[in-house]
A and B are shown apart, each in its own frame.
Chain A
Amino acid sequence: MDRNQSHRQVATMKQSLFDQGYLDHEQFNQLEELQDDANPNFVEEVVTLYYRDSARLVHSIEQALEKSPIDFNKLDSYMHQFRGSSSSIGAKKVKAECSLFREYCRAGNGEGCMRTFQQVKKEYTALRKKLETFFQLARQAGPVDRARRPK
């Protein structure tokens, strides 16, 4: 596959992530704008940080949900962090599920929290798989030649 075709494939995959609602295009584009020749892997670095923080928060939330009685304030605090970092990278579906979880937290609804948390994890796993594929493609395609912009 030639270089142009590879770049087109990366662009198509990115657009599909926006179209399917996995990523917020404005927020993700803002992240991409911070990437340049001096920081060529900035987006992937940020997303990798997101994976690490998310793993830690998922574990903390799981532990908190196992306790009896449930500490809803603690749960809300963890989910506030998860929602915040999801929002930073434009993880739209994950952010939406986090918001729903927080509503159940505030209502003191443990069952609702547990149910929604399964959705949070499902959306996070789905997004992570797609992003891993995306970055693999992007690495294979190499840096985009920005000297000429398409009309």
Chain B
Amino acid sequence: MYQNGSSSSYEINTETTPFRVLVVDDDRILRKMHKMMLTRLGIEVEVAVNGKEAVDLHLAGASFHLVLMDLQMPVMDGSQATKELRGMGVTSPIVGVTAACAEKAAFLASGLTDCVSKPLTISKIANYLPAPSPNNHANN
């Protein structure tokens, strides 16, 4: 993974970097389940317990091919975290994962790529995951 020369954007070299996903959720059961779901596909997973932690990870130089963002979290919610990540120049897909259907529109407006309802399944985010192939890092 690398960060390009510009301090205003974070881009990932998808040719050489293993597929990495950031799971952002304050519920540790969901973090465990979502991590397992993705790890079994050969995907590298990092977790954050709230939006602030997700933002701090990016500020520290981390980058991900996909961010799965819960909405309602303490310290910093998913909407605020998404706005801050987009403001920092993060262009990775950020997919909201929420049970709160009534707030979906506002969540999307914060800069999400997409929003799916809980419970999360692989089929709901298949479009954002690498297609299984012999050359794909996700299968390493």
Give a binary string over A12-45; 1 marks a CB under 8 Å from any B CB, 0 the rest: 0000000000000001001100101001001001
Given known contacts A34-B37, A34-B40, A88-B119, A81 and B27 CB-to-CB distance under 8 angstroms: yes
**1-44 of chain B: CB within 8 A of chain A:** 26-30, 32-33, 36-37, 40
A10 at the interface (CB under 8 A from B): no
A49 at the interface (CB under 8 A from B): yes
B72 at the interface (CB under 8 A from A): yes
Q: How far is the CB of A34 from chain B (nearest CB, A)?
A: 5
Q: Considering residues A36, A39, A49, which has the most beta carbons from chain B within 10 angstroms of its beta carbon?
A: A49
Interface residues on B, range: 10 to 19
Total A-B Cβ pairs within 8 A? 43
Given known contacts A30-B119, A80-B72, A88 and B27 CB-to-CB distance under 8 angstroms: yes
B30 touching A84 by the CB < 8 A rule? yes
Closest to A84 in B: B27
Q: Please, which residues of chain B bring their CB within 8 A of the CB of A83?
A: 99
B36 touching A87 by the CB < 8 A rule? no
Given known contacts A27-B119, A80-B72, A88 and B29 CB-to-CB distance under 8 angstroms: yes
B33 touching A46 by the CB < 8 A rule? yes
A135 at the interface (CB under 8 A from B): no
Lowest 6 A-B CB distances belong to which pairs? A88-B29, A34-B36, A85-B29, A84-B27, A49-B29, A88-B30
